[in-house]
Amino acid sequence: MELQEKIDKTFEERFGGHGAVYASAGRINLIGEHTDYNGGFVFPGAIDKVIMAEIRPNETDKVRVFSIDINDYAEFGLNEEDAPEASWARYIFGVAREVLKRGGVVKGFDAVFAGNVPLGAGLSSSAALESCFAFAINDMFNDNTIDKFELARIGQSTEHNYCGVNCGIMDQFASVMGQKGKLMRLDCRSMEFEYFPFEPKDYELVLVDSRVKHELADSPYNKRRQSCERVAKRLGIETLRDATMEMLEAVKTDITAEDYFRAKFVIEEKDRVLAVCDALNAGDYETVGRKMYETHRGLSKDYEVSCEELDFLNDLARECGVTGSRIMGGGFGGCTINLVKKELLPHFLEEVRARFNDKYGHEPQIYEVIISDGARKVCDAAR
Ligand code: ADP
Ligand code: MG
């Protein structure tokens, strides 16, 4: 059954009648990895996988919400002490609280929601969930007076304050601001952003989820951050955003080899994002693909956040003639993102499934994605 049909039917059964329908999307990041905490650029876009919710004010001070996918119901008030137990409901509670904290209006409502963003696969189902409800609350109770970027911040604060996830702004930003056929370059220092065309007619974007996650003993993420901070300090700048390779070479003998390679990756990655912007404006997807391979190499060899399975997927992509391929996300497992010529796709998918399975004993999960609209109203209650 179609997502909207399923939600409509369930809403009618649970609450009677209908509410308005809203949706928001998961996201990919084409290039720009480990750049956010260095004041650099990320390059995300919203995808054609969404969380969709039917919502109707209920004239009470309670939120009553049913999750179709988890088959669970939650009910909560809008005061701090009313936080629900269920973790999925805390995303919605958090969004409502964060709107109220900012002086916005939230009243009681009934809601039913479901989605097709895979959970925990690196496509940000949680950001889609937050953005969907933030957008809906803005539309239903605030005449859309809350700025869209602020809706993304509301989602981010929800993760920080109610879900224990200390994330950056990229996921919620992409989910809220995404547009069909466009990627966004977000400057993580100034928060300025710009849209770039992404309509690769002859190519598909395909995510290959290795379904492995390597938990390492000492926090590798924090160690990477510390390396970047040390080098920036040595260079007398706030973040590596302002560093060049010449500056880095000049201090090479004063810093450890490890810090050198970490900084080298960050500096080169910033330049790669800018090169991809030019390439997209020129419709040159071959260059985009080459930059993706370069990013993978940097993440694997210089930043050292890859793992055997992801390097295997990257090698396989290259061998199959895939245009671009790299780790997407923090690393140590999860997905690769691949830009694949349409005519190559069936062969690539067949190879990836069979050969990954041969080597690691399970098939990777494949997701084909199309760059699509972010948060939006799907239809009014009257229908
Ligand atoms: P992701 O990388 O997909 O964002 P997270 O662990 O951050 O992974 O978020 C996943 C959580 O978001 C789920 O455990 C659940 O609480 C909530 N969630 C996401 N999608 C749905 C859904 N379709 N229905 C209910 N809850 C969802
Ligand atoms: Mg998440």
The mean pLDDT values, 10 residues at a time, for the chain of 383 residues are: 94 98 98 96 98 98 98 97 96 98 98 96 97 98 98 98 93 98 97 97 97 79 94 98 98 98 98 97 97 98 97 98 96 96 98 98 98 98 82
**CB distance 36 to 166 below 8 Å:** no
112 beta partners: 54, 66
Instruction: Report the pLDDT value the prediction gives residue 216, as an integer from 0 to 100.
Output: 66
What single string gives the DSSP state of each residue in 12-36? HHHHSS--EEEEEEEEEE-S--S-G
pLDDT of residue 218: 58
Contact 327, 308 (CB under 8 A): no
Residue 218 burial (CB count, 10 A): 6
Pocket of ligand 1 (CB under 6 A): 51, 67, 69-70, 87-88, 91, 114-115, 119-120, 122-126, 129
- Cα 307 vs. chain centroid, distance in angstroms? 21
CA of 141 to the centre of ligand 1 (A): 25
What's the gap in Å between 120 CA and the centre of ligand 1?
Answer: 6
The ligand 1 atom nearest the CA atom of 125:
3
pLDDT at 67: 98
Look up the pTM and report it: 0.96
